[in-house]
Chains A and B, each alone.
Chain A
Amino acid sequence: MHTVTYLEALNEALVEEMERDESVFVMGEDVTWALMGSTAGLAERFGEERVRDTPISEAGFVGAGAGAAMVGMRPVVHMLIAPFVYVAFDQLVSIIAKSTYLYGGQAKLPITLMAPMLYNRGNAAQHSDRPYPTLMTIPGLKLIAPATPADAKGMLKAAIRDDDPVISFEDGGLWGQRGEVPDGDHVVPLGEADVKREGDDVTVVALAGAVSHALAAAEELAGEGISAEVVDLRSIVPLDRETVLASVAKTGRLVVADPAHEMGSVASEVAAIVAEEGFWDLQAPISRVTTPHTQIPYSAALERPLYPSADRIAAAARQLMA
């Protein structure tokens, strides 16, 4: 084990995958300068052929990633900030998500997109998105949102090795969080949720930045005699239904904490799955702790309360216990 930050863990994943596979390369805006941290030192180590600064042409370089992937490369395309995927949306939806299917399996697209989510830091409506719910509606994309340094590293490595398009949503709020990462070739398979804390009374399924709030809430609830189990979803597509349903079968209660806007969120999807397949295990209604369906304002006084917090998650759990 060694201890690194979430951002350093991503960097370790990139270094190791570029070392082990020559077809892996990184491109995006200002990646040689490591403006977003995770690409630090890559250009010096691997050269500017494999670490490419792009023009501000999201459709162009995301689509170029698709073309490079189709001819046998493994591009890691850095989006700078997650909402910039909208600028490349057609390439993402019409080309990257659909080509394997549309061409009857002739095209393989081993491409990874890194999409940092920089919310809760005064970036206002256009720069604070957590756009995974929009993307999870599109068949053909795999989506991950790791919440710890170990998962950030292990899942990014799995994403790069996967033969399909994977979008890795980094939670910018976790960048500085430190944690233990296993030494050696640490790979975390896609599609496996992780029980981050065991409990008996209520299940809190959480995602990305909401996981640490869920763990803090569980700590708080423990002091009140409520035993909460925290399931870190980690992967959105594929989604680990079994782990979620098994936990609800044990606790009988479900809170889903998701930093995205509530409508059509991962929280909604998890709630629907449990309502359909775990209904008879439930002793109380399902509760979603998400961001309300409004834009993200600049003022911290307005922005902070919008996202899931330990307090909001604990309050939701208490209500289910009442």
Chain B
Amino acid sequence: MRVTGDDLREMYRRMSRIRQFEATTKELLLAGELYGAFHTSTGQEASIVGACMALRTDDYMVGTHRSHGHPIGKGAALDGLLAELMGKETGVNQGKGGSMHLSDFSVGSLGETSIVGSGLPVAAGAALGSKMQGIDRVTLCFFGDGASNQGTFHESLNLAAIWTLPAIYVCENNGYGELTAAHKTMAVEQVSERAAGYGIPGVTVDGQDVLAVYEAVSEAVARARRGEGPSLVETMTYRFDNHAIGIRIENYRDPAEIEHWRTRRDPLVLFRDTLGERGVDGDELDVIDKEVEAELAEALEFARSSPTPPPEAAFTHLFTNPIDA
């Protein structure tokens, strides 16, 4: 895959956006300005952005309860996402979704869904729709290592395989489903091995290396666009925060393990090194970080000054064609 200098910079920008968005929103949560079940994407930026950058804007994406990073990776503006977290009318979901469902359909999202494993069939269906419409769009589905133990994983990958659907299933394997280690919940080493059961390609890549993810997903996307069917890509990654902010149980992960990932396997640090080797100056990246900081400050201002939805809004959007006008 050819990656231009602009692509590299855009990758870094999106990773920086996720990192800073999560740092800011976590602060706001702890300060009581935000609420709800809050799962951050911090530590998983390379996996998200590498996968999303392999897509076109008009390609579809289905996501999970860990929903903040995905839309940012796909190119969504920060203001609507932040406003959504604040429960504002200007939020991407108009205040109906919140932290586990940040979904910006204008960048191809078909919904971040918080019932673990529930997005996989939807992604197969979106891919089926595009195929039937004769449009060369692909659908990428994010899901976790934990979700790969749901029946929907089996049903969806099988459907996608027998119908040769243009779908890319990206398993963000962060080693844990809530507090339980992934290896305790499956009898194979890697989620990608399961691809064999569906007769589709399955690969495992370093999820902290944005270019490795980009390359693997790009290959899967190309295969899907050629009409050759779905793929499973597993990205080995790690979440730097606890499963959800506010969970007090910490001892399920070895502190040395957390320390190792945070200090040696930070995807932004690793990417800065790579970019340096490719001749992108560190100062230039600092400027990007500053620009993102300003963007986020503006988004925060927008979200704070946005109105909350009127009480009647609890009753809108139940249907597209309302039944009781």
Contacts and interface: CB of A to CB of B under 8 A. Distances in A.
Closest 4 CB pairs of A and B: A67-B125, A63-B121, A60-B155, A104-B94
Contacts of A71: 60, 110, 125-126, 129-130, 133
A77 to B, nearest CB: 10
Given A49-B132, A64-B128, A164 B317 contact: no
12 contacts: A25-B132, A59-B151, A60-B124, A63-B156, A64-B121, A69-B125, A71-B125, A71-B129, A95-B113, A107-B105, A164-B319, A237-B323
Interface in B157-176: 158-159, 162-163
B121 A105 contact: no
Nearest to B155: A60
B316 interface: yes
A60 B103 contact: no
A55 B319 contact: no
B120 interface: yes
Given A104-B92, A104-B96, A63 B321 contact: no
B93 A106 contact: yes
B110 A104 contact: no
A54 interface: yes
Interface string A42-69: 0000000110101101011111111111
Contacts of B152: 59-60, 63, 91
Interface in A91-122: 91, 94-95, 99-110
A104 B95 contact: yes
A96 to B, nearest CB: 10
Nearest to A60: B155
B187 interface: no
B193 to A, nearest CB: 21
A139 interface: yes
A57 to B, nearest CB: 4
Interface residues of B, number: 47
A164 B97 CA distance: 19
A292 interface: no
Interface of A: 23, 25, 49-50, 52, 54-55, 57, 59-73, 75, 90-91, 94-95, 99-110, 139-140, 142, 162-164, 190-191, 237-238
Contacts of A99: 111
B115 A67 contact: no
A67 B97 contact: no
Contact of A63 (B93, B97, B125, B129): B125
B93 A104 contact: yes
A62 B105 contact: no
A162 B122 CA distance: 20
Contact of A67 (B127, B320, B324): B127
B36 to A, nearest CB: 13
Given A103-B111, A104-B94, A64 B125 contact: yes
Given A59-B155, A101-B317, A164-B321, 20 more contacts: A55-B162, A60-B121, A63-B124, A63-B156, A64-B125, A67-B62, A67-B124, A67-B127, A70-B110, A70-B122, A100-B318, A103-B103, A104-B92, A104-B94, A104-B97, A106-B105, A109-B320, A139-B318, A162-B321, A237-B323
B125 A94 contact: no
Best-surrounded residue of B158, B319, B324 (most CB of chain A within 10 A): B319
B319 A140 contact: yes
- Interface-centre pick from B62, B94, B96, B125 (highest chain A CB count, 10 A): B125
Nearest to A139: B318
Interface centre among A55, A60, A65 (most CB of B within 10 A): A60
B93 to A, nearest CB: 4
B159 A55 contact: yes
Interface in B95-140: 95-97, 101, 103, 105, 110-111, 113, 115, 118, 120-130, 132-133, 139
Given A63-B120, A70-B110, A71-B126, A102 B323 contact: no
Contacts of B163: 52
Contacts of A163: 319-321
From A52, A54, A95, residue with most partner B Cβ within 10 Å: A95
A98 to B, nearest CB: 9
Interface in B269-325: 316-321, 323-324
B143 to A, nearest CB: 13
